[in-house]
């Protein structure tokens, strides 16, 4: 049976948190870019077709996708703020290590598990 000290859990599993941080970083970049590119392609198709109704619908879709892209980009920041409030109230051991590894991958300390 594997027992871990709760106070050093994040430090012991830092490599896992680092991998999660890379995944979050990719999602923060790729998903907003894809949403904006797809919206621009739809708008381009509507402009080429010269249909006013299609253009207004494409502009509306582009605006919605842009807003979704901004939300996707800022969700990790909002979640981090929420967890900071929770960590202040609960006093979890080395919580800051987990947060650092997920939000700032380059500043993550090396864990005990080889990557």
Write the pLDDT tens digit of every residue in 51-66.
Answer: 889 889 888 988 888 8
20 or 99: whose pLDDT is higher?
20
Calculate the average pLDDT of the chain.
Answer: 79
5 or 64: whose pLDDT is higher?
64
Q: What is the largest CA-CA distance in the chain?
A: 68
Q: Which one-letter DSSP state was computed for residue 106?
A: G
What predicted TM-score, i.e. pTM, was given to this entire model? 0.67
- Cα 86 from chain centroid (whole Å): 19
pLDDT digits (tens, 9 = 90+) for 31-86: 888 988 888 898 888 889 888 898 898 889 888 888 988 888 888 788 778 777 77
Tell me what pLDDT residue 1 has: 43
């Amino acid at each position: 049976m594997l027992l871990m000290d709760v106070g050093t859990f994040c430090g012991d599993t830092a490599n896992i948190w680092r991998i999660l941080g890379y995944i979050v970083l990719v999602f923060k970049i790729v998903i907003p870019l894809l949403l904006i590119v797809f919206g621009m392609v739809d708008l381009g198709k509507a402009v080429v077709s010269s249909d006013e109704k299609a253009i207004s619908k494409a502009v509306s879709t582009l605006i919605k996708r842009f807003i979704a892209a901004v939300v996707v980009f800022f969700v990790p920041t909002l979640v981090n703020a929420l967890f900071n409030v929770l960590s202040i109230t609960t006093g979890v051991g080395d919580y800051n290590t987990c947060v650092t590894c997920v939000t700032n991958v380059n500043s993550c300390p090396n864990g005990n598990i080889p990557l």
